[in-house]
Structure 1
Amino acid sequence: MKIPVVLLGLISLSGYVSGQTAPAKPLATTVAGIPVNYDEDKVGTYTLPDVLTLKNGKKVSSKQTWINERRPEILGLFEEYQFGKMPAKPADMSFNVFDKGTPVFDNRVTRKQITVYFTKDTTDHKMDILVYLPAKATKPVPLLLMISFSPNSSMSPLDAGVKVGFMWDKNGNRLPAAKTGFGKLDVEKFTSEGYGLATIYYGDIEPDFKLGYKHGIRGYYLKPGMKYPADNEWGAISAWAWGLSRAMDYFETDKQVDAKRIALQGVSRLGKTVLWAGAHDTRFKMVIESCSGEGGAAISRRNYGENIKHMTDTSRYFYQFAANWHKYSDDFNASPVDAHLLVSLMAPRYLLMQTGDTDYWSDPKGEFLATTAAEPVYKLFGKNGPGKSQWPAASDTSLTYRPLGYYMHKGGHGTVPSDWDIYLNYIKRFL
């Protein structure tokens, strides 16, 4: 899994620009000594668990059975076997709106900044939310909440009033935020259309490295005598998702934001994060996930590109998942969960699956197959996905603007500038 280039209004650094010939598919190789397959003839055979069949074999034929029985059953499987169980809303959480509304961008936009304190002790465990709202709004506005690889001040370098945050390096050092990071907010693209835009730095919640739990929120919740979360307790992805739910807790108190119309957006491992956050917390009305790949939107049973063994290798990203998921690294078919089940948990809310045609590592076809396999749950609610359509070509939007949508840009991992027009149009259609 790669750190992606996440860009708003900037050219992609993925190595592929629209209009160029797509690069050849990579040759079979190894990552961390583990073979990587890019040959469709070698993905192996697999049978996906049926989204509408309970563990007891009973078929789900009504919304009520899905809501009351099958959905909790699937959610529990992901908590137990892939992402891990996370704590409830903390009793001692508090909010400090230290920037209550500052006019910016020639008074067209209002900026707010909030610190969310996860614990009664406000010293360590906290995150900052940067919010931009249309200045002329006369009622609560819907909002796109991004979880980002860069601190808030790096995401909005043109606004000198944004609090300068800190970021983590891989050695566990907390450093002042750089002036620019992995992306840049195109604030007025959204506020000019009547939508709010907000961002959170994922490192505020928990650092993204093996020992990050010692500094992050997971370490705070360790039970007495424990040195690491239990096998069915949260990995880092669940920690980041938990932080997004805490942001929602804040937005429910903000009279300028319509908390019933909040969309999430994230890329790569943060695409996994927003997909899991939306699956777990039904208060989020929409999720836009980008290139989440293995462990996110791509079918794990397909041995194509990154697989469970790569993800859970101790030299790579094992800490992002519950330790129980490691048990399936040698037998993908034995896992009780897979991507289509995760996607199904968003029903009947809105989900856009976005990927890239040359992001072979993330298996864009596997992401499409997860979308089609999850659609029966959407149909149960009278909503549609891709149907029986064939895997679309890059830039084809025929399957995009649906409650369960799919879009593949020309290019690789992450977002390219044109994706943001797709996102905005999807938001305007459904949010």
Structure 2
Amino acid sequence: MLIRSVLCLLMLCSVSFLPAADWPAVEKLPEQPEYPPVLKMFAGSTINSVEEWEQQRRPELKELIQYYMYGYFPAAPEEIDFELKPEFSLFEGKARGFEVVITYAIKQGGKKLPPLNLLVILPRNSEKPVPLFLGMNFCGNHTLLPNKEITLTKSWVYDSCGGQDHHAIEGSRGSQFNDWGIDTIIERGYGFAAFHSADIDPDENDFTNGIHPYFYKKGQTSPGPHEWGTIAAWAWGAQRAVDYLVTNPNVNKNQIALIGHSRLGKTALLAAAFDERIALSIPHQAGCGGTAPNRGTVGESVEIINRAFPHWFNNTFPKFSQDVNRIPFDQHSLVALMAPRPVLLSNAVEDTWADPEGQFLMLKEARPAFDLYGGDNLLDEEQPKLGKLSAGRLGYYIREGNHSMTRGDWQVFLNYADTHF
């Protein structure tokens, strides 16, 4: 079945490639060793109300974050098609799964972009639309479950995914099953959807593959200094998955949670911060460039991440590598863009590279934006003890173990979603 949607006015989730303001060159920015206050405008005035936040500071932060770090998102596609594949049964008939092939076109000559393959799994006998977790995976949808009905990805995969020369093989089916706990998600009354990040862009420092070339101007071979890097491209892909999910009558379109692990955790926060259709975000162990402070001194630094993964951000962000105090925001500003929607930062005690304590500090620094909206149950005053979920709108959790996503983590994620959904 083919469904076509015309997306002309997705104002909540799309912005132009063109910057709305000419911000200062990096070397002209003032030194700010302290975390820039989320309620203080770039020019110095203070935000005092929800109206001022939503009309002034929130748009300004979106500009600053794109201009200096992730790059500008392109607009949503004008046309988008959803091709639904045949259903199949899962978990002894308790769930039904199907694939959605998402294709879209953009203005530049009506170019058709590579398809995004979305796996959707829903409880079979739900009497009402269900809340849903949307996840981004590293290795292909076929690694989440062993079912042959799930298409073996043709996109680039990491060698660690069990493929050969960055190509998926049949033997990798179901290899990531225990990372996701989809059976538990269904048992708890939630739906689940997932896509492979490389459907949008391979995780390589190469802007001649993936989605970027489709947006180049004539003669262009790489993104400009303020155009999007790979993390922003992945986030744009997540928003395209949401384009489909909000059309499915079996999904509660007001209860879509976006989750990602590690670099895809960075993506989950960015995508949700810029798309208010995403009701809740869980950037799991996202670390530097996601939920850890750029000005931090623990774990991965801005210099290290730019050297190791130069394609993740725009071409301006590396200029801060030796002078992070000139960044006119920090990652608490990205968290603040979620306000008043809930966000859970989840960590592991051995994952010091991701700076778990610094991440809790980012929640505290983001709180003034959430305070504007009022209400209780925001954030614990002190970092929660090991194994204890702090389930406020600014949520936090840290467990034993290392940099990984486990079935035990999913119990925490579901408990957090239950609190807010």
- TM-score w.r.t. the length of structure 2 is 0.86
Instruction: Give 2:98's match in structure 1, choosing from 112, 115, 119.
Output: 112
Kindly report which structure 2 residues correspond to 1:135-214, keeping only aligned pairs within 5 A, or say none: 135-157=124-146, 159-169=147-157, 173-176=166-169, 178-184=172-178, 185-211=180-206, 213-214=207-208
Aligned to 2:81: 94
Aligned to 2:3: none
Q: For the residues of structure 1 that align with 2:261 and 2:377, how far apart are their CA atoms?
A: 21
AA in 2 matched with 1:362: A
Deviation at 1:94, TM superposition (A): 1.4
Aligned to 1:357: 349
Render the CA deviation track for 1:182-222: whole Å, top value 9, x for unaligned. Answer: 454422212222210111111111101111x3221112111
* Runs of 5+ unmatched residues, structure 1: 1-44
Instruction: Give 1:378's match in structure 2, choosing from 370, 376, 383.
Output: 370
| Cα gap change, 1:386 to 1:109, in 2 (>3 Å) | same
Q: For the residues of structure 1 that align with 2:375 and 2:139, how far apart are their CA atoms?
A: 36
Aligned to 2:414: 424
* Runs of 5+ unmatched residues, structure 2: 1-31, 160-164
| Cα gap change, 1:183 to 1:373, in 2 (>3 Å) | farther
Q: Is the 8 A contact 1:385 1:405 kept in 2?
A: no
| Cα gap change, 1:170 to 1:112, in 2 (>3 Å) | closer
AA in 2 matched with 1:417: R
Q: For the residues of structure 2 that align with 1:422 and 1:309, how far apart are their CA atoms?
A: 33
Stretch moving more, 89-98 or 129-138: 89-98
AA in 1 matched with 2:406: V
3-state SS of paired residue (1:82): helix
Deviation at 1:230, TM superposition (A): 0.6
Q: For the residues of structure 2 that align with 1:105 and 1:123, how far apart are their CA atoms?
A: 36
Q: For the residues of structure 1 that align with 2:157 and 2:334, how far apart are their CA atoms?
A: 31
Aligned to 1:318: 310
Q: Is the 8 A contact 1:150 1:181 kept in 2?
A: no
- TM-score w.r.t. the length of structure 1 is 0.84
AA in 2 matched with 1:287: S
3-state SS of paired residue (1:259): strand
Render the CA deviation track for 1:125-156: whole Å, top value 9, x for unaligned. Answer: 11111111110012221100001112111111
Aligned to 2:243: 249
Q: For the residues of structure 2 that align with 1:328 and 1:264, how far apart are their CA atoms?
A: 29
Aligned to 1:409: 399
Stretch moving more, 405-414 or 180-189: 180-189
Q: Is the 8 A contact 2:181 2:407 kept in 1?
A: no
Q: For the residues of structure 2 that align with 1:283 and 1:221, how far apart are their CA atoms?
A: 24
| Cα gap change, 1:217 to 1:127, in 2 (>3 Å) | same
Render the CA deviation track for 1:284-311: whole Å, top value 9, x for unaligned. Answer: 0000111111011001111221111011
AA in 2 matched with 1:53: K
